[in-house]
Amino acid sequence: MGKSTQIRDEVKSFKDLTIEVQDRGICGKCGGCVSFCSAGEFNALRMEEDGTPRLVDEEKCVKCGICYLICPQIIALNHELDEKMDWKPPIGPFRKLVSARTTSPEIMEVCTDGGVVTSLLTYALEKNLIQAAIVSRRVGPFTRQPMVVTKPEDLIEAAGSHFEETFHLDEIGKRYSSFVPSVRDIRTLGERNLDRIALVGTPCQVYAFRKMQLLRVVPSDTIALTIGLFCMENFSFDEKARKKLEKNIGIKLKNIRKLNIKDNVIVTQENGEVVHVPFEAVDELARPACFACSDFACDYADISCGGLGSPDGYTTTMVRTGIGEKVFNGAKQEKYIREWSPRDKEKYRIHKTEMMAKIVSFALRKKNRAKRTLGE
């Protein structure tokens, strides 16, 4: 994701994606190109076991350009997207920036920050504003998989970033990855007869989805609400790197109860001890694709959420669009969530200014990192 350009006249296809993304080592293995290939039923593309997309049969490629245009590492539609979403520098449009938290003790018990994401989805499902939500659930340390939830009570399984107490390291396989290929699950929505879906995802996932929406790729029209997560990086590493990570942070993965990311990586151990690990200590385990990514605050979401800038136990919540506002205001009115608003108005004003400054600073830091990676 980078600066805006116009769609070019010539249609680019998977071969161009190979040159511009895979050969540069910045493929995020999101699976979008394979899942939405127009020649999917003829198996023109295939996903390798490690998530790498491959062209199986060039003859079957109809050169439609979909795989190229929806790839999160391709910026060819930025200009159109920015216009459609009314994007403004430096972190996109927003109508409200608040620290908020859930009112549900059950959600608070398991959530990452203030449980706003889970509460907004619970509200939207219970009030029938959406029929389902694409979220992710934990399947091991650093490992999650996408799931489509239709019942509010099932959202609890997706909330937070606690580790399963019963996980067995040896069952997890050779690779750990915190990245969730949720974009692939959009493909299944048509078959499930679901419309009005919410998508929770990282900036790259929301960006890819918005491009599908722009191109009217079916069934992206069924996504009615996007809740984006702030994101500095995601991790993917093998057994050797796991040992290095444990040495770097001085904690065994099996002793980690909860992971959170704000100004740095916050590790809560089983014994309750909390350790703050600087990004630099874990940077080498981040996915290479993340270093080429320039969106921190999920600029194209309806609502963006993070922990940065909020007091502990609160979610920093940016309400960006009309639908985002409808869901946020409804959830607040019906007391699913509440805002942090100290009586001291001057304290509140300073808090908001500082929160905004932190988000902008992280967003610029990420943009500059992407420029360096891409040699711009």
Angle at 341 between CA 366 and CA 304, to 5 degrees: 30
**Residue 238: strand pairing partners:** 175
Peptide bond preceding 219: is omega within 30 degrees of 0, i.e. cis?
Answer: yes
Interaction pattern, residues 59-88, with ligand SF4; x per rule: CB under 6 A: --xxxxxxx---xxx---------------
Q: Which is nearer to ligand FAD, 1 or 44 (CB)?
A: 1
What is the torsional sign of CA 68, 72, 76, 79?
Answer: positive
C-alpha–C-alpha distance, residues 251 and 120, integer Å: 34
Q: Which of 116, 223, 225, 289 binds ligand SF4 (CB under 6 A)?
A: 289
Stretches 55-63, 155-163, 270-278, 324-332: which one binds ligand FAD (CB under 6 A)? 155-163
Q: What's the burial of 170, exposed, middle or buried (CB within 10 Å: 0-12/13-18/19+)? A: exposed
Reference 136, options 39, 234, 265; nearest CA is 234
The pairing of strands 223-229 and 143-149 is unpaired
CB 370 within 8 A of CB 291: yes
282 or 305, CB closer to ligand FAD?
A: 305
159-167, 216-224, 288-296, 331-339 -> range binding ligand SF4 (CB under 6 A): 288-296
Residues between 158 and 177 with contacts to ligand FAD, criterion CB under 6 A = 158-161
The item of ligand SF4, ligand FAD, none sharing an interface with residue 181, based on CB under 5 to 8 Å by kind, is none
Task: Tell me which residues in 134-193 interact with ligand SF4 (CB under 6 A).
Answer: 179
With CB under 5 to 8 Å by kind, the binding choice for 265 among ligand SF4, ligand FAD, none is: none
Q: Determine whether 366 is exposed, middle or buried from the number of CB atoms within 10 Å of its CB (0-12, 13-18, 19+).
A: buried
Q: Which is nearer to ligand SF4, 160 or 203 (CB)?
A: 203
DSSP letter at 327 equals H
Q: How many CB atoms lie within 10 A of CB 350?
A: 11
Kindly report the backbone phi and psi dihedral angles of residue 268, in degrees, each rounded to the nearest multiple of 5, phi listed first.
Answer: -100, 125
Segment lying near ligand FAD (by CB under 6 A), choices 22-30, 199-207, 246-254, 330-338: 199-207
Helices 116-126, 322-333: crossing angle, 10 deg rounding: 90
What is the DSSP annotation of 25-79? T------HHHHT-TTGGGT-EEE-TTS-EEES-GGG-----HHHHH-TT--TTHH
Residue with tokens 């988000």: 359
Residue in 104, 122, 234, 315 binding ligand SF4, rule: CB under 6 A: 234
Contact pick of 37, 206, 229, 293 for ligand FAD (by CB under 6 A): 229
> With respect to ligand FAD, which residue has the nearer C-beta, 211 or 287?
287
Q: Locate 298 and state its tokens.
A: 């999920």
Q: Is 180 in the site for ligand FAD (CB under 6 A)?
A: yes
Q: Does 282 bind ligand FAD (CB under 6 A)?
A: no
Which listed residue (112, 220, 222, 373) binds ligand FAD by CB under 6 A? 112
**By CB under 6 A, residue 262 contacts ligand FAD:** yes
Asked if 112 interacts with ligand SF4 (CB under 6 A), we say no
The candidate with the shortest Cα–Cα distance to 179, out of 67, 268, 288, is: 288
Stretch near ligand FAD under the rule CB under 6 A, chosen from 59-67, 230-238, 266-274, 341-349: 230-238
Q: Does 104 bind ligand FAD (CB under 6 A)?
A: no
Token code pair at residue 260: 């959170």
Paired tokens of 196: 């009005």
Which of 26, 33, 111, 217 touches ligand FAD by CB under 6 A? 111
Question: Does residue 92 interact with ligand SF4 by CB under 6 A?
Answer: no
**Which of these segments, 31-39, 75-83, 167-175, 253-261, binds ligand SF4 (CB under 6 A)?**
31-39
The binding site for ligand SF4 (CB under 6 A) comprises: 13-14, 17, 21, 27-33, 37-39, 44-45, 53, 61-67, 71-73, 179, 202-204, 231, 233-234, 287, 289-290, 293
The binding site for ligand FAD (CB under 6 A) comprises: 111-118, 135-136, 144, 158-161, 178, 180, 182, 200-202, 229-232, 234, 260-262, 305-308, 315
